[in-house]
Amino acid sequence: MRSVRGRITAAFADAGVNGSLHALDIDTGREVEVGADTLYSTASLHKLCLVTTLFREAEAGRVELTRRLELPAGDGRSPGGTGVAAMLDPVTMSLRDLASLTVAVSDNAAADALWDELGLDTVNATMVKLGLTRTVAIEPLRELYAGMREDAGPNGPAALVDPAVVGRLRALDPNRSNRGTPRDLTRLLAAIWRDEACGGEYGAGLRRVLGLQAWSHRLASGFPFDDVRVSGKTGTLPTMRHEAGVVEYPDGGRYAITVCTHSADTAAALPAADAVIGTVGRLAVDALRVR
């Protein structure tokens, strides 16, 4: 019988992607991995690090989650098609509600407001304190997208179907963009669910936020059951689709999973590449549950 690692690798190939996976039983420490230490550009996966830092800073008394920020309208707001990023008028919102939008609909404007509030150094220091030495942020989202526009050239986003243009995007190079590994991000999720990142009401509040994600076409697609809860965060850039999340079963089983993929196809819509994240997540969790 083919090993679970072999089945995961075959599933990636069938979907037309190169992929890596790290899955961890949060309570026993048992693991399944395929290329778990591969360095990836994290895209919006880094919002996990951001909201974790927010709740950890709040627990330490250095941030007040209910403090309200005004996000002005106009060009100063970070680009994006969801949440505050898509709105036309000024918005005033608390830090914890900005965190909710950052996860629920991957709102870039809400996330950048939090990056501005906390600072890159604070987020990176939090990751180091949690032992995640390969997870590093070098820029907020507004700078990441400004770099993509610059690299795309005069034809703008329309040029991102050209493999040669995509190939020169700094955002896709983990040595020149926000970065991390599947193993690091799974360990971060495990720390959150074990109350090691922050505890009590802050840990519960952070897990609540991570349970708000609206997208179900990636990791959650592998667990289509009413009594199985999936929390997590997606990350997307041209040719890259990721998700890091936690799957909780009604019998108490808890599994942290990170899947990162890269496709040679530059199409914006690749349903098979999205769905394989759920497929390999399910293969890994099934293997962990029968051991």
- List the domains of the chain with CATH numbers: 4-289 (3.40.710.10)
The phi, psi pair for 2, rounded to 5°, reads -65, 140
| 274: Cβ contacts below 8 Å, ≥ 6 apart | 217, 218, 221, 241
* Burial tier of 15 (Cβ tally within 10 Å: 0-12, 13-18, 19+): buried
Rounded to whole angstroms, how far apart are CA atoms 216 and 156?
29
Torsion over CA: 19, 273, 181, 230 (sign) = negative
- State pLDDT tens for residues 254-274: 999 999 999 999 998 999 999
The phi, psi pair for 196, rounded to 5°, reads -90, -25
What is the model's pLDDT at position 291?
Answer: 60
What is the model's pLDDT at position 154?
Answer: 83
Q: Would you call 36 helix, strand, or coil by DSSP? A: coil
Rounded to whole angstroms, how far apart are CA atoms 199 and 179?
26
Rounded to whole angstroms, how far apart are CA atoms 151 and 44?
19
Beta bridge partners of 41: 179
pTM for the model: 0.95
Please give the torsion angle defined by the CA atoms of residues 260, 261, 266 and 270, in that order, rounded to the nearest 10 degrees: -100
- State pLDDT tens for residues 160-199: 888 999 999 999 999 999 999 999 999 999 999 999 999 9
Output DSSP code: residue 136. Answer: B
Low-confidence residues of the chain, pLDDT below 50? none
What is the model's pLDDT at position 1?
Answer: 52
Alpha carbon 56 to its chain's center:
18
The phi, psi pair for 143, rounded to 5°, reads -75, -35
